[in-house]
Amino acid sequence: MIQLKSKTDSAAVIHSSLTLPWHKRCRSRQRVKLDNGEEAGLFLERGSILRGGDVLCSEEGLAIQVVAATEKLSTISCDDPLQLARLCYHLGNRHVDLQIASDGLSYPHDHVLDEMICGLGFHTRVQEGPFEPESGAYDDGSHSHGHQHG
């Protein structure tokens, strides 16, 4: 089994690719199957997040390119920056992973969230595509909000 332990230079010669959905690209320890059928183990630094296009390296020097899998997403288009901010606030308050663009956003499809969004006056579309959400303010994977009380 190939052991993938670190990210490497994207100019490396690619041996295979590894297609993963978002929830698996957030896990630093897991057994995976490369797109060529070979089995591999991910042993990355805790809190590592893999993005489409990242290249992983094995101890043997094999380079594996990460591919963001196609996922079912809810997408909202919005040309009004204030309304887009309002929408991000409501979804962020529910700790929803968001992929934010200048003219809208996407999140993993959830019919309950879609209904809430419609109740706020927005229209959702269900689409298939890669999901690359915002990483957030805490790059180490911790979930502390960082505010102090007292």
Looking at the fold, whether 82 and 96 belong to one and the same domain comes out as yes
Mean pLDDT value across residues 117-142: 83
The CATH number covering residue 78 comes to: 3.30.70.790
**Contact by Cβ (8 Å): 99, 105:** yes
pLDDT by residue (tens digit) across 25-46?
999 999 999 999 999 999 999 9
The CATH number covering residue 45 comes to: 2.60.260.20
Domain assignment present for 60: yes
Taking each helix axis from N to C end, the angle separating 111-119 and 81-92, rounded to the nearest 10 degrees, works out to 140
What does DSSP say about strands 14-20 and 63-68: parallel, antiparallel, or unpaired? parallel
**Contact by Cβ (8 Å): 115, 121:** no
pTM of the entire predicted model = 0.83
Q: How far apart are CA 66 and CA 120, in angstroms?
A: 36
Mean pLDDT value across residues 105-120: 96
Give Cβ neighbours of residue 52 (< 8 Å, ≥ 6 apart). Answer: 66, 67, 68, 130, 132
Looking at the fold, whether 12 and 51 belong to one and the same domain comes out as yes
pLDDT by residue (tens digit) across 43-70?
999 989 999 999 999 988 899 999 999 9
Domain assignment present for 124: yes
Domain assignment present for 144: no
Looking at the fold, whether 125 and 104 belong to one and the same domain comes out as yes
Q: How far apart are CA 30 and CA 109, in angstroms?
A: 24
Q: How far apart are CA 121 and CA 97, in angstroms?
A: 21
What does DSSP say about strands 125-130 and 104-108: parallel, antiparallel, or unpaired? unpaired
Domain assignment present for 145: no
pLDDT of 116 over the 60 cut: yes
pLDDT of 142 over the 90 cut: no
Mean pLDDT value across residues 70-88: 95
Q: Which domain holds residue 96?
A: 70-130
Structural domains in the chain (count): 2
